[in-house]
Amino acid sequence: MNLKKYLDVAPEVAQAIQTGKPVVALESTIISHGMPYPQNVQTALRVEQIIRDSGAVPATIAILGGRLKAGLSPEEIEYLGKKGLNVTKASRRDLAVLVSRGEDGATTVTTTMMIAHMAGIQVFATGGIGGVHRGAETTMDISADLEELGSTPVLVVCAGAKSILDLGLTLEYLETHGVPVIGYGTKELPAFYTRKSGFEVDYRMDTPAEIAAAFHAGQEMGLRGGMLVTNPIPEEFAMDHETINRAIDQAIAEAREQGIHGKATTPFLLARVKDLTGGGSLDSNIQLVFNNARLAAQTAAELSRL
Span 187-208, pLDDT tens digits: 999 998 889 888 999 999 999 9
CA distance 115 to 64: 13
In this structure, the chain runs to a length of: 306
CA distance 33 to 156: 20
What ranges in 183-238 are assigned the alpha helix state H?
Answer: 208-220
Q: Are 209 and 303 in contact (CB under 8 A)?
A: no
pTM: 0.92
Q: Which one from 89, 162, 263, 274 is the annotated catalytic residue?
A: 162
Sign of CA dihedral 257, 263, 264, 266: positive
The model's pLDDT over 69-91, given as tens digits with 9 standing for 90+, comes to: 999 999 999 999 999 999 999 99
Nearest to 127 by CA among 219, 237, 205: 237
Which residues, listed in sequence order, are joined to residue 23 by a DSSP beta bridge? 57
Domains plus CATH for the chain? 1-121 (3.40.1790.10), 126-306 (3.40.1790.10)
CA distance 14 to 21: 10
Active site residue 236: no
Tell me the three state secondary structure of residue 133. strand
The model's pLDDT over 25-82, given as tens digits with 9 standing for 90+, comes to: 999 999 998 888 999 999 999 999 999 999 999 999 999 999 999 999 999 999 999 9
CA distance 23 to 296: 9
CA distance 44 to 2: 30
pLDDT score recorded for residue 280: 65
Active site residue 27: yes
What is the tally of helices (H) and strands (E) in the chain?
A: 13, 11
DSSP 81: H
